[in-house]
Chains A and B, each alone.
Chain A
């Protein structure tokens, strides 16, 4: 149901209050609803996204490689699903070794997750597989329930167990030592205090750290001083135009067939190919994971103008390119572009802190200190060389890499800021993390944090799928509580 007046809740104690109505908050509430557990969702925005919310999202950055902070976050029902591309892929088993969760514990609720995101054509045996000696291939799936507002607003409106309060701004957590008792929030210029047994903070990567830091400052007795809030902030860059090249489509298909891959599987991926260096290669070269996304520009997709591209490179080796141009006459040669999605390692120097300037409701705006490491730049270079090596070895095509990638001093990342990861990291070591594997804040008995801010490593994958998995796991953990 939709709540318009919060004064009726003064004497009520909810079992669960969820702050934020993004994919994390909605998935948790929907799963709790299955078990008839009542929850209240608080959303600062309205049902639809309105422009002009920059005053809430402004912040300070120390690095020009990062985009403006007010262009990548959304205050509306459905959260950032409003601008989500629908990419779903999961972490590798080897990547989860650094997490306090096992692969099974994380993917236990995969079927429910697929239903929430509307995922179809799911080939479990083909999620990730060997592509070459050094590269793996991913099967990225696209969610059909893209915008949560379109799919879940009516469901939540008609639900008996889920209450939703829009345009309600969270201000701080209140409570005694180790126990949160209520939250302070603002709606229609009035301030309310709402009580609950359990609290879930699910406001997004930067907001989770900012609101927790602010609550810690306001109530120093409630939170432990040593909590690493706001540290190990990570993001994904999207390095478009990192490389381009050409390939013989027929030879690529033959390569797939040689690997005994069913046509249904590989044809589903083309004209896109998602590759990344495998765990053994990463360990050998001491590099981070990097998503190498190839987009083949075939006749159905864009006008490839491959002839012009090949003629520009003709003088490198006239004899070789003469044969390639002849193959092009048979329409076998296609141009492709490569986009990189590198993993960023958790670094204590990359932080979200509170600045001196305040937003319209009096909470300090975030200040982000962030830099890309040399290991990230090296990982990009080695992953691309590995792709070039594969193309040469199998004589499928050739790759031309942007020369800036070879020069670490010139190379600059263009971060998209869409995947805000870390800040309230998950871990077993109390001095090195903020939440445990059940997403409960260390030393606080009834406060949970949900979303990509809890990821201990960023991987190169799109985070939404894992966010929904963690939300379902959290709901099932809350269900097991005796006092709910």
Chain B
């Protein structure tokens, strides 16, 4: 009986720990929702000469 109670308490403590972690995680995601899941856009510059001017373009502009 004593053992059962101890196991029960242990589980409850673990459950409490897990809920605390989830609360922290949710609040973190609420604060930084975009930054956490944002895709990092890759780009590289391309210099194009036209009419005595050098245009600074992205490689993606030519796709």
A binding-site residues for B, Cβ under 8 Å: 243-244, 312-313, 315-317, 319-320, 385, 388-389, 391-393, 395, 398-403, 406
- Which B-chain residue is minimally distant from A258 (CB atoms)? B34
Q: A317-B48, A401-B56 are in contact. List 8 more A-B contacts (CB 8 A).
A: A316-B55, A317-B57, A388-B56, A389-B45, A391-B56, A399-B55, A401-B53, A402-B54
Q: Are A400 and B55 in contact (CB under 8 A)?
A: yes
Chain B residue nearest to A320 in the complex (CB):
B61
- Cβ distance B48 to chain A, nearest Cβ, rounded Å: 5
- Per a CB cutoff under 8 Å, which of B45, B55, B62, B63 touches A313? B55
Bound Cα distance A477, B50 (Å): 57
- A402 adjacent to B53 (CB under 8 Å): yes
Confirm or deny: B2 has a beta carbon within 8 angstroms of a beta carbon on chain A: no
Contact assessment for B56 and A398 in the assembled complex, using a CB-CB cutoff below 8 Å: yes
Chain A CB within 8 A of B22 CB = no
Confirm or deny: B37 has a beta carbon within 8 angstroms of a beta carbon on chain A: no
Q: Is B43 in the interface zone, CB < 8 Å from A? A: yes
Q: With A and B bound together, what is the CA distance between A402 and B56 in angstroms?
A: 11
B58 at the interface (CB under 8 A from A): yes
Q: When the two chains form their complex, are residues B54 and A320 in contact, meaning their CB atoms are under 8 A apart?
A: no
Given contacts A317-B61, A389-B45, A392-B45, contact A398 B51 (CB under 8 A): no
16 A-B interface contacts by CB (under 8 A): A312-B50, A312-B51, A315-B50, A316-B55, A317-B48, A320-B62, A392-B43, A392-B56, A392-B57, A392-B58, A393-B43, A398-B55, A401-B54, A402-B52, A403-B53, A403-B54
What per-residue 1/0 map shows which CB atoms of B33-45 lie under 8 Å from chain A?
0000000000101
| A313 and B50 within 8 A (CB) | yes
Residue of B54, B61, B62 touching A400 (CB-CB under 8 A): B54
Q: Are A389 and B50 in contact (CB under 8 A)?
A: no
Docked CA distance A231–B53 (Å): 37
B49 at the interface (CB under 8 A from A): yes
Question: Is the pair B57, A389 in contact by a Cβ cutoff of 8 Å?
Answer: no
Q: Which residue of B lies closest to A404 (CB)?
A: B52
Q: How far is the CA of A319 from the CA of B52 in the complex (A)?
A: 22
Main secondary structure of the interface of A (DSSP, over half): helix
Complex contacts, A393 vs chain B, CB 8 Å: 43
Q: Which residues of A contact B51 (CB under 8 A)?
A: 312-313
Check if B45 sits within 8 Å of A388, measured CB to CB. yes
Measured in the bound complex, the distance between the Cα atoms of B57 and A393 in whole Å is: 10
| 4 A-B pairs closest in CB distance | A388-B56, A320-B61, A400-B53, A392-B58
Q: Complex formed: what's the CA distance from A419 to B43 in Å?
A: 40
Q: How many Å lie between the Cα of A244 and that of B52 in the bound state?
A: 12
Residues of B contacting A406 in the complex (Cβ-Cβ under 8 angstroms): 54
CA–CA, A317 to B61, complex, Å? 7
Contacts of B45 in A (CB 8 A): 388-389, 392
The distance from the CB of B30 to the nearest CB of chain A, in whole angstroms, is 17
Q: Nearest CB to that of A402 among chain B residues?
A: B53
Residues of A within 8 A of B53 (CB): 243-244, 400-403
A381: nearest chain-B partner, CB-CB: B54
B48: chain A residues at CB < 8 Å are: 316-317
Docked Cα-Cα span, A392 to B57, in Å, equals 7
A385 to B48, alpha carbons, bound, how many Å?
Answer: 13
**Contact residues in B for A392 (Cβ distance below 8 Å):** 43, 45, 56-58
**B57 near A385 (CB under 8 angstroms)?**
no
Q: A399: which B residues are within 8 A, CB to CB?
A: 55-56
Which B residue's beta carbon lies closest to that of A314?
A: B50
Q: How far is the CB of A285 from chain B (nearest CB, A)?
A: 16
Contact A385 B62 (CB under 8 A): no
The residues of A that contact B54 with a CB separation of less than 8 Å are: 400-403, 406
Choose one: B49, B57, B58, B63; the contact of A403 (CB below 8 Å). Answer: B49
Let me know if A317 and B62 touch, CB within 8 A. Answer: yes
> Contacts of B63 on A, CB cut-off 8 Å?
319
- Cα A400 to Cα B49 in complex, Å, equals 9
Query: Which of B43, B58, B62 has the most chain A CB atoms closer than 10 A to its own CB?
Result: B58
Chain B residue, CB-CB nearest to A392: B58
Residues on the B chain within 8 Å of A398, using CB: 55-57, 61
How long is the Cα–Cα vector from A244 to B51 in the complex, in angstroms?
A: 12
Distance (whole angstroms) from the CB of B41 to the closest CB of chain A: 8
The minimal Cβ–Cβ distance linking A2 to chain B, given in whole angstroms, is: 56
CA A398 to CA B56, docked complex, whole Å? 6
CB distance from A246 to the nearest CB of B (A): 11
Residue of B whose beta carbon sits closest to that of A385 = B56
Residue of A nearest to B63 (CB): A319
Q: Which of A316, A391, A403 contacts B52 (CB 8 A)?
A: A403
CB distance from A338 to the nearest CB of B (A): 12
Q: CA of A243 to CA of B51 in the docked complex: distance in angstroms?
A: 12
Most A C-beta atoms less than 10 A away, residue of B51, B56, B58, B63? B56
